[in-house]
Amino acid sequence: MNEIAAKSTQRAATNLDSYWMPFSHNRYFKQHPAYRLLASAHGAYYTTVEGRKLFDCLSGLWCVNLGHGHPRIAAALQKQFATIDYSPAFQMGYPETFRLAERLAAMAPAGLERVFFVNSGSEAVDTALKIALAYHRVRGEGARVRLIGRERGYHGVGFGGISVGGIPANRKMFPSAQLVGVDHLPHTLDYREMAFSRGQPKWGAHLADELARLVALHDASTIAAVIVEPVQGSAGVIVPPVGYLERLRELCTRHGILLIFDEVITGFGRMGAAFGADRFGVVPDMIAFAKGVNNAAVPLGGVIVRKDIHDAFMNGPEHAVEFCHGYTYSGHPMAIAAAHATLDVLEQEGMFARVRSLEPALEAAMHSLRGEPGVLDIRNIGLAAAVDLEPIAGSPGLRAVKVFEHGLGEGQLFRFTGDTIAVGPPFISTGEELARMAEALRQAIRAVRVTP
Ligand code: PXG
Ligand code: PLP
């Protein structure tokens, strides 16, 4: 019996039965809880209930980019709660929310000047899609109803997000609930052409021309928007080929189609810049964001919108609601306070530059795993990387679970999905910590062979 199994047979102090865990193997977790129940978190480390320290290889779920318990965020939240805990989101305002919108507009690429707040990436995506559909309609182009996503795209779990998303497992239960008229671009991952690419692959820009094919098929007059993650995160850090996003931009502009970047992971520094849009030099019409905007201290997301898209809604009687959409917690003062503190730290501590300086260390450490048993591909950009592993025959996904468990034994909290291991370490990581993380992954990969 291995260490985790042995520990797990000890009766857990917590009754695990009632909680239906999201995106988790519930039965397996509840049988093997050892080192998976977290008691506390500081900086780049968690401590499990057993007292084991774990390096936070994915910054929570790509969101706690400045590390846990940041003192400036903690102070901001305490002050905020004592000042005003909640302010009604509809027909009332809280000045700090307006001020955050102004800051985000200033940070975003030129032209993206209006901000709608929500509470998660899923809500940000559904909101962006609704804005796109309604925008065309208020301009008298109501026939533009199609939305184009991409294979392997992850856009959260709302009905809109799973419709444009391209992860089959997230879609297959809900065929009746997919938005009508959605189509998908192909993804850009091809081992034969671009395995072990560092940063942006040189191959693959032509795949953006598939949009031209969809335009020819459906006619531009029926297409409202294209939504893509600049880098596909959940699918395993699939980096856009050189020239690819530029071509999507060109085609969208030519055909009056809105281009939405889902920057839930790529926003706020993960790419070494404010947004993926900045890193790749391509300006979309809307940016959906969440996660890193406030270091995940309190749920917050939103959509940054081109000014003229917003302005198109500002018609009709002035006393009437212009866009019938919003959430009880839109612009929640606690979430807003955490965002101001996070942006202060990002700006004042030069965090984007720090990510850029750590990127070569992460790239070197991760690509040093090339040649280890059953490593099929390694990809990286910014402070994000993924390793695809050859599955154990007949048991897809099992190898990554075992590598994950081995990582817990080595003091590393890896993220696994399918047989891919993804890392997105905190911006406060040191080069030494990144090297240690990659070495632990090497040991885990060696320990968990494809064939026993
Ligand atoms: N869009 C993108 C691009 C995302 O990455 C969402 C939307 C949805 O956000 P919410 O806040 O509704 O979860 C996401 C979320 C992983 C992982 O391990 C990725 C996400 C969430 C959890 C795990 O890659 N992305
Ligand atoms: N369901 C009911 C019955 C509600 O009253 C509301 C909000 O008032 C919602 C759902 C939506 O909740 P939220 O605004 O937090 O998304």
Q: Is the CB of 357 under 6 A from ligand 2?
A: no
Taking the centre of ligand 2 as the mean of its atom positions, its distance from the CA of residue 119, in whole angstroms, is 13
Which candidate, 240, 159, 246, places its Cα nearest to that of 203?
240
Residue nearest to atom 19 of ligand 1 (CA): 234
Instruction: Kindly report, residue by residue over 146-161, the tens digit of the pLDDT.
Output: 999 999 999 999 999 9
Taking the centre of ligand 1 as the mean of its atom positions, its distance from the CA of residue 82, in whole angstroms, is 31
Other Cβ atoms less than 10 A from the Cβ of 195: the count is 16
Q: Which atom of ligand 1 is nearest to the CA of 417?
A: 18
pLDDT at 7: 73
Q: Which atom of ligand 1 is nearest to the CA of 158?
A: 12
pLDDT at 181: 94
CB 261 within 8 A of CB 287: yes
In the structure encoding, which two tokens stand for residue 289, read together?
Answer: 């964001």
Q: Is the CB of 86 under 6 A from ligand 2?
A: no
Taking the centre of ligand 2 as the mean of its atom positions, its distance from the CA of residue 329, in whole angstroms, is 10
| CATH code of the domain occupying 72-348 | 3.40.640.10
Q: Taking the model in full, what pTM does it have?
A: 0.96
Residue nearest to atom 6 of ligand 2 (CA): 328
Q: Are strands 146-150 and 183-185 parallel, antiparallel or unpaired?
A: parallel
Q: Is the CB of 265 under 6 A from ligand 1?
A: yes
* Residues in Cβ contact with 386 at an 8 Å cutoff, skipping those fewer than 6 apart: 236, 237, 378, 379, 380, 420, 421, 422, 423
pLDDT at 160: 98
- For ligand 2, mutation pick of 116, 328, 330 (most atoms within 8 Å of CB): 328
The residue ranges of every structural domain in the chain are 3-64+351-447, 72-348
The CATH architecture of the domain made up of 3-64+351-447 is Alpha-Beta Complex (3.90)
Residue nearest to atom 8 of ligand 2 (CA): 328
Q: Looking at the CA of 276, name the nearest ligand.
A: 1
pLDDT at 354: 98
Q: Is the CB of 195 under 6 A from ligand 1?
A: no
Look up residue 395 and give its amino acid. Answer: S
pLDDT at 6: 67
Q: Looking at the CA of 265, name the nearest ligand.
A: 1
In the structure encoding, which two tokens stand for residue 244, read together?
Answer: 């690819």
Residue spans of the chain under pLDDT 70: 1-2, 5-6, 9-12, 451-452
Distance between CA 272 and CA 279 in Å, rounded? 7
- For ligand 1, mutation pick of 23, 291, 300, 416 (most atoms within 8 Å of CB): 291
Q: Hunting for tokens 């700006």 — which residue is that?
A: 347
Q: Are strands 384-389 and 183-185 parallel, antiparallel or unpaired?
A: unpaired
- Give helix 95-107 / helix 333-348 axis angle, nearest 10°: 40
In the structure encoding, which two tokens stand for residue 6, read together?
Answer: 């042995």
Mapped onto helix, strand or coil, the DSSP state of residue 133 is helix
pLDDT at 13: 82
Q: Hunting for tokens 């940000």 — which residue is that?
A: 124
Residue nearest to atom 23 of ligand 1 (CA): 61
Taking the centre of ligand 1 as the mean of its atom positions, its distance from the CA of residue 55, in whole angstroms, is 20
